[in-house]
Amino acid sequence: MTSTLAPTTPRAQPYAYRRAELAEPDWHRFPGWRDVTADQWRDVQWQRVHCVKNVKQLRELMGDLLDDRFYADLERDQAERATMSMLVPPQMMNTMVPAGAEAGAAYTEAFYADPVRRYMLPVFSDRRGDWSSHPHATRDSLHEHDMWVAEGLTHRYPTKVLAELLPTCPQYCGHCTRMDLVGNSTPTIEKLKLVGRPQDRHDAILDYLRRTPEVRDVVVSGGDVANMPWARLEAFLTSLLEIDNIRDIRLATKALIGLPQHWLQDDVRAGMERVAMTARKRGVSVAIHTHANHANSVTPIVAEASRAMLEAGVRDVRNQGVLLAGVNADAHSLLDLCFGLLDGAQIMPYYFYMCDMIPFSEHWRVSVREAQRLQHDMMGYLPGFATPRIVCDVPYVGKRWVHQIADYDTERGISYWTKNYRTSIEGSEADDRLYEYYDPIHTLPAEGQQWWAEHGNIAAADLRAAEQAVASRRLAALQLG
């Protein structure tokens, strides 16, 4: 019997998967690093000492590559808008314009357009001139400090906590959610200071966890744990592993991407091996959560660091990226990143957070509707277990998948969300209300933009009271319906 099926040509897919080989861009293309050796590049101390911390150092590194207008743009941003000070390790600088370009206008344009530059070295002209901040933007947009049960310990979800052990990182991202606390003060943001001595704070955190058996999961964060002396971090983790109720420990470190040399140090690898072995014996999972936003950041040395941690015995290395317009907010960029992580570095794509409503972040943010579209467009390419969820961190609620909205006013860009647990600062009234989240105003239809032009400047408390009245009416309508 002959087949009646005609041979078919494969149909072009909206996303064409191709396995990409990772490559370390050649750092010698930067005039300031012409003589840097491979050994220096692998040396974490060399990387830390040669971070770019100011415009003068950027000029020295770039030589004649960039036009003056870029530096002026950067300086203006530092003076008038930046919520984070400048700190870019060589490893991250080297992922910007990886293929190089002709010095001058061509290089400057390529640098302006570069996705990693856009969030690590933001400039004034990147930001929006109309609504640079949303009227509801706040310094601690997730109200984590309100939920501190010990200094640096946020108890927001019933069974899990966030322990901010230190307020620094080896790199500072322009969009940092914890801009209230993390990093050095900038001309626009005076940072909050942790007041307790580190050891006292860590003891208080451990004490709370010993007294609170319903907590089983601890995100050990900062800042970035890569900035903590290893002996101190290991001592904290060892104490954590002695608490019977703790079953999951997640170490938050963007340094695996920005300064992988840290995680390749012999003492760090050996220390992680000891921690992982103790965890295994006690049936506890220790994982690393890192933060890559673009495929260009995933290089061979990042893959090496990830493998080193898996070999040391951590259960998993997972990525929590941030969805950022101009950086990765299109399905191709997101999928390229996920496949780069998964195929090249055995890093599990886990979440993409919508960029939070901090001051001056509107040019990075996308609407909930756009995030829903992106989630839709990503489905079906990656294995199910490695398909990341795009999540919205709704103030006073917590992470919600973007399709979990209860209601949505697309004209004013207000989405409404419900919750199914109470944070440490709420009572039963929390169960019976809707919580608002706001789309960037420039993404709204003309009527919505007009509404915000008329209402966006009234006192935030009055605006919130009026909006909560609307939310109550919407909730009642939903309950009736």
Residues in contact with ligand SF4 by CB under 6 A are 169, 171-173, 176, 178, 182, 223-224, 254, 291
Name the minimum Å distance from CB 29 to ligand SF4: 25
Q: Based on CB atoms, which residue is closest to ligand SF4, 110 or 355?
A: 355
Q: How far is the CB of 171 from ligand SF4 (least distance, A)?
A: 6
To ligand SF4, the closest distance from the beta carbon of 360 in angstroms equals: 15
CA gap 336, 17 in Å, rounded: 8
CB 448 → ligand SF4: shortest distance, Å?
A: 30
CB 278 within 8 A of CB 235: no
Q: What is the dihedral of CA 108, 111, 113, 118, to 10 degrees?
A: -130
Phi first, then psi, for residue 25 (nearest 5°) are: -60, 150
Q: Which is nearer to ligand SF4, 50 or 254 (CB)?
A: 254
CB of 31 to ligand SF4, least distance (A): 27
Q: Could you tell me the smallest distance in angstroms from the CB atom of residue 480 to ligand SF4?
A: 42
Q: Considering beta carbons, is residue 89 or 448 the nearer one to ligand SF4?
A: 89
Q: Which is nearer to ligand SF4, 366 or 441 (CB)?
A: 366
Least CB distance to ligand SF4 at residue 219 (A): 12
The SS3 assignment for 11 reads coil
Residue among 185 and 450 whose Cβ is closer to ligand SF4: 185
What element of type H or E holds 121? none
- Cβ at position 178, least distance to ligand SF4 in Å: 5
Nearer to ligand SF4, 155 or 291 (CB): 291
Distances (CA, A) of 439 to 326, 364, 366, 401, 434: 16, 11, 7, 15, 16
CB-CB neighbours of 465 under 10 Å = 10
How far, CA to CA in Å, does 449 sit from each of 300, 326, 366, 387, 463? 45, 22, 15, 34, 16
Q: Which one, 107 or 353, has the nearer CB to ligand SF4?
A: 353
Nearer to ligand SF4, 178 or 201 (CB): 178
Phi then psi for residue 149, to 5 deg, are -105, -15
**Closer by beta carbon to ligand SF4, 50 or else 291:** 291
Q: What minimum distance in Å lies between the beta carbon of 217 and ligand SF4?
A: 19
Closest to ligand SF4 by CB, 222 vs 448, is 222
Amino acid at 88: V
Nearest to 414 by CA among 353, 352, 469, 336: 469
Helix (H, G, I), strand (E, B) or coil at 250: strand
For residue 309 the two structure tokens come to: 């941690």
β-pair type (248-252, 316-323): unpaired
3-state SS record for 414-450: EEEECCCCCCCCCCHHHHHCCEEEECCHHHCCHHHHH
| Residue 20 Cα to chain centre, angstroms | 24
In whole angstroms, how close is the CB of 270 to ligand SF4 at the nearest point? Answer: 25
Place of tokens 């007041």: 195
> DSSP assignment of 169-223, as one string?
-SS--TT-TTTTTSS---SS-PPP---S-HHHHHHHHHHHHHH-TT--EEEEESS
- CA 324 to CA 355: how far, in whole Å? 6
Any residues with CB less than 8 A from the CB of 309 and at least 6 apart, and which? 256, 263, 269, 272, 288, 317
Check residue 407 and give left, alpha or beta (phi > 0: left; psi -120 to 50: alpha): beta
What is the smallest separation between the CB atom of 320 and ligand SF4, expressed in angstroms?
A: 9
Name the residue nearer to ligand SF4 (CB basis): 219 or 386: 219
